[in-house]
Structure 1
């Protein structure tokens, strides 16, 4: 672990031996692992398997709320029970509140996948931090994210939002003080402790920004989701057996 500050890459989608080694080489002390469409027990198992004395891996869920065409992503850490995708935003936030989970807003105002001013205003008291920067936030999106953090006087965070292994560690959130466990990481984001958003500044950072942005073409393919999720085959479908009937009243798909 770093001696002067504790660096967290607060949102990654990939996890492997190579990812762990890359994070360590780049001075990262913890990753928040929140892959798409994976159930919380599986995310927890992977996080525990890849954690060691040099790197903590914290399980998280980026829950897709609303319909695919009009969805709002919310990142939750410190969950005690699984939460499915494609439920209403109101249903997701109520469940996070019930579980006393820590709620983070990833990539605010970005495309059609993010919380904007209205939603952040509505849930301001429940939101622990808003993302100020990730490599996908180009130009005006990055400017809006910074202004939003300032306008709401909310704690910022940064992440690589890595969908490809090479992006891991490009951005981080740095905390002072002693952090030793995944629970400590969750507490740090929930607290009012000072933190700083840092990023690598080099030609390679520009390269990984371009790679991550180009990945959106695949990530947001309607046909991909229509073939899988909407047919009820994804493990985070709200009608999956894992969730029983708990989310039937807030599911947006049958």
Structure 2
């Protein structure tokens, strides 16, 4: 736990197990936001609750993959009350986040073909609560571009480890002014633009983290992608899955 003068959060983690908790504690974090790929909100909530404790809050969230595989735009929503599927239009996702009054975060802006662009930010500026200005997967030029976008649109910043591997947790985090005690408090802090520091490490560990995560990214977007598309059948977060009861059929891209 931190010393109480601020609340330290790794705002985007993809994995959750005992190793993740240990890394978070060693990084002196107060909370992590757990948002795994292709996992429905009830399952995320249950797993977050199981791993949450008095000394480390685990907050459930969804990084929704809007659009198609060729042009997918990721948006991180914290504070959802109802499930939102992947593979719906960006406009439909933003409308649903607004309806549920969730905190809307922009991870890794303009990174490859998986991110919101400058034009998207201009369109949805009033719906966005924060933009990621440092991501360990980024090259320095990507992070500079992200900072420029935050300045251009006057958006509060955040950072995260974007950890797909347990060892990455805590390599960067967002430190809010003290006063956050729950997931609801964190959502409020994000939506209200509560003052915060963006904290990250450079040096050898950061370089090792970047290299390991980029290797994992290549794997995730090749063999795992092929498995999902051609072998596994319908994803549990596909908008036409029975769990969504047809609610998103008219905005599905597949």
When residues 30 and 88 of structure 1 are mapped into structure 2, their CA distance, relative to the original with a 3 A threshold, is same
Q: Distance in 1 between matches of 2:74 and 2:156?
A: 18
Q: Which residue of structure 2 lines up, in the alignment, with residue 208 of structure 1?
A: 209
Equivalences for 1:85-234 in 2 at 5 Å?
Answer: 85-221=86-222, 222-228=225-231, 231-232=233-234, 234=235
Which stretch has the larger CA shift, 113-122 or 219-228? Answer: 219-228
- Per the TM alignment, residue 80 of structure 1 is displaced from its structure 2 partner at its CA by 0.4
Using structure 1 for the length normalisation, give the TM-score: 0.96
The yes-or-no answer on 1:40 pairing with 2:38 is no
When residues 228 and 176 of structure 1 are mapped into structure 2, their CA distance, relative to the original with a 3 A threshold, is farther
Report the 3-state secondary structure (helix = DSSP H, G, I; strand = E; otherwise coil) of the residue aligned with 1:104. strand
Report the 3-state secondary structure (helix = DSSP H, G, I; strand = E; otherwise coil) of the residue aligned with 2:250. coil
Report the 3-state secondary structure (helix = DSSP H, G, I; strand = E; otherwise coil) of the residue aligned with 2:249. coil
- Per the TM alignment, residue 224 of structure 1 is displaced from its structure 2 partner at its CA by 3.0
When residues 247 and 4 of structure 1 are mapped into structure 2, their CA distance, relative to the original with a 3 A threshold, is same
Q: Distance in 2 between matches of 1:68 and 1:32?
A: 24
| Displaced runs of 4 or more, over 3 A | none
Q: Distance in 2 between matches of 1:61 and 1:195?
A: 22
Report the 3-state secondary structure (helix = DSSP H, G, I; strand = E; otherwise coil) of the residue aligned with 2:59. strand
Deviations 1:99-124 (A, max 9, x none): 11110000000000000100011010
Report the 3-state secondary structure (helix = DSSP H, G, I; strand = E; otherwise coil) of the residue aligned with 1:249. helix
Q: Which residue of structure 2 lines up, in the alignment, with residue 31 of structure 1?
A: 32
Report the 3-state secondary structure (helix = DSSP H, G, I; strand = E; otherwise coil) of the residue aligned with 1:114. coil
The runs of 5 or more residues in structure 1 that have no matched partner are: none
Q: Distance in 1 between matches of 2:88 and 2:190?
A: 25
Q: Which residue of structure 1 lines up, in the alignment, with residue 66 of structure 2?
A: 65
Give the root-mean-square deviation of aligned CA atoms. 1.1
Q: Which residue of structure 2 lines up, in the alignment, with residue 18 of structure 1?
A: 19
- Per the TM alignment, residue 228 of structure 1 is displaced from its structure 2 partner at its CA by 4.9
Using structure 2 for the length normalisation, give the TM-score: 0.96
Which stretch has the larger CA shift, 193-202 or 51-60? Answer: 193-202
The runs of 5 or more residues in structure 2 that have no matched partner are: none
- Per the TM alignment, residue 214 of structure 1 is displaced from its structure 2 partner at its CA by 1.6
Report the 3-state secondary structure (helix = DSSP H, G, I; strand = E; otherwise coil) of the residue aligned with 1:125. helix
